[in-house]
Chains A and B, each alone.
Chain A
Amino acid sequence: MVELLLLPASIRSELPFGYWLHLLIFGLGIITLLLTSVIIFIWLERRLVGRFQLRHGPNRAGPFGLLQSVADVIKILTKEDIIPSRADKLVFWMAPVIAFTPVVLMLGVVPVADGALLADLNIGILFVVAISSVTSLGVFMAGWSSYNKYSLLSAMRTVAQLVSYEMPLILSMVGVVILTGSLSLNEMVKAQSIPFILLQPAGFFIFFTASLAEINRTPFDLLEADSELVAGYNIEYSGMKFATFYLTEYCEAIVLSTLTATLFLGGWQGPWLPPMIWLLLKIGLVFCVIVWIRATLPRLRIDQVMNFAWKFLLPLAILNLLLTSLSVIFWPTAPAWASGLINLSMLAVFILVYSKFFKPGGKTVAV
């Protein structure tokens, strides 16, 4: 099975039923791997946050509490399904499906080894950009259809935030496209003899921050601020429909960790170990950093979140794009350390200038 996975697509397509075999292996493989890693990563996050707060974390269910997420799944699967009487029933049922589907689809274009991916689209990264914004539609459907004031407010905030951080996210990926000269994710990994995080530190910073906002993680988790919005856009959802939203959130975190690893950390590339193991290790590393940030930073206010996106990240992303294209055109033979240093110093200068002229926050604002 594993050998079949790592075969180049050209050889696999010559096998009998090669096309359907490919679809079956990768289609089911992606879903299975994603669900397994969600279960493991939820456990990892709860244990890690426990450690950060000088606690033990879940340790009663199974060895080291490994079965904690399994217990959660069993419980939530057999929880009562409540449909609010005033809800828009069809939209209420469709929302979790619409939110969950695009997240899994994004993994279809991510390579786990050289040429080993579901579909090596020549517009890979554009596909990711296009499909990733569908999730916010599902979220808004959930918030609107529940007939609940808090969930509607939360959904509005979510969509405003996702929409705002989409710009810097897309722009920061253009820098990677410039360095690679291709939109295919497989080509991008192959181009990274030096991981792009060293060539594009500012791009990585923008991408990572914007993706934290896209997955609604701390410090951008104000749409789930219990103190003002009860529980976010999924207040009225119970049982498996709520679990689907929970799953979507974690899948998004894992998918964006995967994209970070693929675009900036060299994807499946690495010595000694098999490529797939390298990719999983890098995903785990990025996810641990996300958890670290969650345990460290407090939540931002909505006006701060919006200002950060539109007045800081967006100009920075455009500047990064201009500088990268300039250096590629006029100094194509630049050594890696020089272009990395240029990028880093641009980030530093921008932050210094910005902090000189702008003072964020301070006033009270209405939401």
Chain B
Amino acid sequence: MLSEFSLIALFILIVLGFATSLVLIPVALRKLGIVPSQPSAVKSEPYECGLETTGPTWIQFKIRYYFYALLLISLDITVVFLYPWAVELTSLGPAGLITIFIFLGILAVGYLYAWRKGALEWK
């Protein structure tokens, strides 16, 4: 099994190398004069439909997005526990089922609380 994981690790390196070369090919082609390059001050400004940009861009953002991130962390990580249970479901039998029902029940309480509090509304 360890050799399987080492295969995946080497594959990660291969794909990373491939993706990096994808991005770097144009740099080499520019040296050969095939990719044109005519930089100017206006060209490297941000594109905002032809208008000049006003004010800073990297600002504090709407809190709504972070609610979803928090919800994901609370639910997603607990869901990972479902996978080992699902594999061993038949050998665990009804006892395991009851345990996981209690577990999901606790999750559901949190979920319903978030719903009631309006955390799921997009306002």
Is A209's CB within 8 Å of the partner chain B? Answer: no
Evaluate contact between A78 and B29: CB separation under 8 angstroms. yes
Residues of B contacting A22 in the complex (Cβ-Cβ under 8 angstroms): 7
Interface-facing stretch out of A146-154, A264-272, A274-282: A146-154
**A121 interface residue (CB < 8 Å to B):** yes
Whether A240 contacts B23 in the complex (CB less than 8 A), given A79-B35, A310-B120, comes out as: yes
Residue of B15, B39, B43, B100 near A105 (CB, 8 A) is: B15
Q: How far is the CA of A245 from the CA of B86 in the complex (A)?
A: 35
CB-defined contacts of B94 to chain A, threshold 8 Å: 329-330
A108 contacts across to B, CB distance below 8 A: 7-8, 11
| Contact mask for chain A residues 142-178; partner B; CB cutoff 8 A; 1 contact, 0 none | 0010111110100010011001101100110010011
In contact, A240 and B22 (Cβ under 8 angstroms)? yes
Known contacts being A83-B44, A148-B47, is A170 close to B79, with CB within 8 Å? yes
Complex CA gap A99/B53 in Å reads: 27
Contacts of A80 in B (CB 8 A): 35-38
Q: Find the B residue at minimum CB distance from A146.
A: B46
Q: Let me know if B123 is at the binding interface, CB within 8 A.
A: yes
* Chain A residues with CB below 8 A from B102, complex form: none
Given A181-B89, A311-B120, A318-B104, also A81-B19 (CB < 8 A): no
- B19 contact from A96, A125, A181, Cβ within 8 A: A96
A69 contacts the other chain (CB 8 A) = no
A19–B80 Cα gap in the complex (Å)? 32
Closest to B41 in A: A85
Q: Is the CB of A311 within 8 A of B115?
A: yes
- Which secondary structure dominates chain A's binding surface? helix
Residues of B within 8 A of A311 (CB): 115, 120
CB-contacts of B76-117 with A (<8 A): 76, 79-80, 82-83, 86-90, 93-94, 97, 100-101, 104, 108, 111, 115
Which of B49, B62, B65 contacts A230 (CB under 8 A)?
Answer: B49
B35 close to A326 (CB less than 8 A): no
Number of interface residues of B (CB under 8 A): 71
Cβ of A321 within 8 Å of any chain B Cβ, yes or no, is yes
B52 contacts partner chain A, Cβ-Cβ < 8 Å: no
Interface set, chain B 1-37, CB cutoff 8 A to A:
1, 3-5, 7-8, 10-12, 14-16, 18-20, 22-23, 25-27, 29-30, 34-37
Contacts of B121 in A (CB 8 A): 303
B47 partner, pick from A96, A127, A235, beta carbons under 8 A:
A235
Q: How far is the CA of A126 from the CA of B23 in the complex (A)?
A: 29
- Measured in the bound complex, the distance between the Cα atoms of B25 and A77 in whole Å is 8
Is B23 touching A84 in the complex (CB atoms < 8 A)?
Answer: no
Q: Are B69 and A149 in contact (CB under 8 A)?
A: no
Binary CB contact string for chain B from 58 to 84 against chain A (1 if under 8 A, 0 otherwise): 100110110011011001100110110
Residues of chain A from 21 to 36 with CB closer than 8 A to chain B in the complex: 22-23, 26-28, 30-31
Q: Does A220 contact B (CB under 8 A)?
A: no
- Whether the Cβ atoms of B8 and A307 lie closer than 8 Å is no
Q: Identify the closest chain A residue to B37 (Cβ).
A: A80
Residues on A lying within 8 angstroms of B by beta carbon are 19, 22-23, 26-28, 30-31, 77-86, 93, 96-97, 100-101, 104-105, 108-109, 118-122, 125-127, 144, 146-150, 152, 156, 159-160, 163-164, 166-167, 170-171, 174, 177-178, 181-183, 230, 235-236, 239-241, 243-244, 247, 302-303, 306-307, 310-311, 314, 318, 321-322, 325-326, 328-330, 332, 365-366
* 13 residue pairs bridging A and B, Cβ less than 8 Å apart: A22-B7, A23-B11, A26-B11, A78-B29, A84-B44, A85-B44, A97-B19, A121-B8, A164-B72, A177-B86, A239-B26, A247-B22, A365-B122
Excluding A171-B79, A174-B82, 13 further A-B contacts by CB distance (< 8 Å) are A85-B41, A93-B23, A122-B1, A125-B83, A127-B8, A150-B48, A152-B57, A159-B65, A160-B64, A163-B69, A230-B47, A236-B46, A241-B23
